[in-house]
Amino acid sequence: MASSDFRRLPGFRDFPPEELAFRAHLFRAWRAVARRYGFLEYDGPPLEPLELYTEKSGDEIVGQLYNFTDKGDRQVSLRPEMTPSLARILGEHARSMPKPIRWFSIPQLFRYERQQRGRLREHFQWNVDIVGEDDVSADAEVLAVAIDGLRELGLGAEDVRARVSDRRLLTALLRDGVGVPEDGMDAAFALIDKVERMPEEVAREKLAADAGLDPAQVDALLKLFELEGLDDIRAAHPEASVAEAAAPLDAYLGHLEAMGLGDFVEVDLTIVRGLAYYTGIVFELFDRQGELRAICGGGRYDRLLELVGGDPMPAVGFGMGDVVLGELLRERALAPDYERTLDYYVVVIGEEQGPAARGLAHRLRDAGHSVAYEFRDRSVGKQFKSAGTEGARSVIVLGPEEAAKGVVVLRDMASGEEERVPPESLG
């Protein structure tokens, strides 16, 4: 077979060193921020029982699973998201753990999606979750972590915004403000999730057909999305159930304001989240210009642990992918320049110096320095060229004259300055 027959699968990625360095840059920022908030890192297996997703994640993700039957006749799937695994892991251990549990992870996830800008079949996702705490301050903490993750990478409120909503508030508005019947509620939620990407006429037709709404109800529902902010929403809908359901979101906004993050946050009732398990406040982060898909999504999911067979336990968290975020950072010139570096490059003049060069290089590596040299006899010019290519900060030259005097030449590659030093003084 020709090597062209082994092309990369569509939607999968190679990470040559420059790309990997960029990925590592994101991971470093994510880890630093998570640790700053007291989160501990965990991981789980990339392959899980298929049922973990078919039961809990909702239809959208189930249609995108990389699933198969393994050699032991088990129905399995590559993980499309981390939250069900987290719920499974904590279902087994959480009872004996001090609460709240603050955990984070950076799993590689797989979804058989139609490949498009910002959507691949494989991505890395920063997952940050608080389990065992139902106070709304945990919801605010989680969004603050997500925002700080972006700030750590150089993005500000002028670049990104968090669109937040609460499924309980939307339920009260739909039920008591609009009059959506109980059996039309799921369909209404599913349509609201997509309403932004639909022409208004299509949305109207679907709301009538799928959620059973009459034209006046469709009008009332679409008007909800014109309301700006909680005060507007409460003024337009004075129902007691709406006031009650708006209280957690009100407190949430207050907490974020107190943290100095208010500029990042806006209430947006079209945010409901596609995944089935969310129960309360939900949010998504987008680039301000609205050109890209969501950078991050999350919210409260108080029943998932119980659904996967664990103790009932409240939970809230988010997932932030590396693909859309990478696009945004590159667009804003916030991707660091790739730099290759090496502490020392050892240049030898004449093969006889080989053993001494290897001995010195090894001693320097033992001391924690990065060191490289040519594997075969090359001209001094070529060796210096390699030193430059590899980003060596210093070159050590071992030659017969220096050897006779018990010294090596140490050249600083930036300044060009040279000194003769005994090799024992290095390291």
Stated as kind and residue range, the H or E segment containing 348 is: strand 342-348
Of 83, 383, 386, 394, the one binding ligand HAM (CB under 6 A) is 83
Q: Which is nearer to ligand HAM, 297 or 423 (CB)?
A: 297
Distance (Å) of CA 30 to CA 34, 106, 336 = 6, 9, 16
Q: Compute the least distance from the CB of residue 400 to ligand HAM, in Å.
A: 58
Q: Prior bond to 16 cis, omega within 30?
A: no
Counting contacts by CB under 6 A, is residue 267 touching ligand HAM? no
Among the listed residues 85, 125, 383, 386, the single contact to ligand HAM using CB under 6 A: 125
Could you tell me which residues are beta bridge partners of residue 316?
Answer: 130, 300
Residues 299 and 278 sit within 8 Å (Cβ to Cβ)? yes
Minimal distance, residue 313 CB to ligand HAM, in Å: 14
What is the DSSP code (8-state) at residue 301?
-
Q: Spell out, one character per residue from 127 to 166, where the chain touches ligand HAM: x when CB under 6 A holds, - when not.
A: x-x-------------------------------------
280, 319, 326, 423: which one binds ligand HAM (CB under 6 A)? 319
Instruction: Give me the half-sphere count of Cα atoms (radius 13 Å) on the Cβ side of residue 280.
Output: 24
Q: 29-64 burial, b for 16+ CB within 10 Å, e for fewer? A: bbbebbeebebeebeeeebbebebbbebbbeebbeb
Bond prior to 100 in cis (omega within 30° of 0): yes
Q: How far apart are CB 319 and ligand HAM at their closest, in Å?
A: 3
Instruction: Pick from 265, 324, 357, 364 the residue near ligand HAM by CB under 6 A.
Output: 324
Among 184, 321, 326, 423, binds ligand HAM (CB under 6 A): 321
Q: Select 150 or 267, whichever has its Cβ closest to ligand HAM.
A: 150
Going by the DSSP 8-state scheme, the letter that residue 228 receives in this structure is -
What is the rounded radius of gyration, in angstroms, for the C-alpha atoms of the chain?
28
Residue of 22, 104, 318, 384 interacting with ligand HAM (CB under 6 A): 318
Coil, strand or helix at 53: helix
Per-residue mark of binding to ligand HAM, 103-122 (x: CB under 6 A)? --------x-x-----xx--
- Are the beta carbons of 259 and 140 closer than 8 angstroms? yes
Q: How many residues of this chain interact with ligand HAM, rule: CB under 6 A?
A: 24
136 touches 164 (CB < 8 A): no
DSSP conformation class of 116: B
Q: Which of 94, 296, 364, 392 binds ligand HAM (CB under 6 A)?
A: 296
Question: Considering beta carbons, is residue 312 or 359 the nearer one to ligand HAM?
Answer: 312
Among 248, 317, 326, 423, binds ligand HAM (CB under 6 A): 317
Chain positions contacting ligand HAM, by CB under 6 A: 81-83, 111, 113, 119-120, 123, 125, 127, 129, 275, 294-298, 301, 317-319, 321, 323-324
